[in-house]
Chains A and B, each alone.
Chain A
Amino acid sequence: KAGVTQTPRYLIKTRGQQVTLSCSPISGHRSVSWYQQTPGQGLQFLFEYFSETQRNKGNFPGRFSGRQFSNSRSEMNVSTLELGDSALYLCASSFRGGNTEAFFGQGTRLTVV
Chain B
Amino acid sequence: QQQVKQSPQSLIVQKGGISIINCAYENTAFDYFPWYQQFPGKGPALLIAIRPDVSEKKEGRFTISFNKSAKQFSLHIMDSQPGDSATYFCAAGTGFQKLVFGTGTRLLVSP
Contact = CB atoms under 8 A, between A and B. Distances in A.
Interface of A: 4, 6, 33, 42-43, 45, 48, 50, 55-56, 88, 90, 92, 96-107, 109
Interface stretch (B18-26, B61-69, B95-103): B95-103
Interface of B: 30-32, 34, 36, 41-46, 49, 51, 89, 93-99, 101-104
13 contacts: A6-B43, A33-B99, A42-B101, A43-B44, A45-B98, A50-B96, A96-B96, A97-B93, A97-B97, A99-B51, A100-B32, A104-B43, A104-B45
A55 B97 CA distance: 8
A33 B99 CA distance: 9
Given A55-B96, A98-B93, A99-B32, A42 B103 contact: yes
Contacts of B102: 42
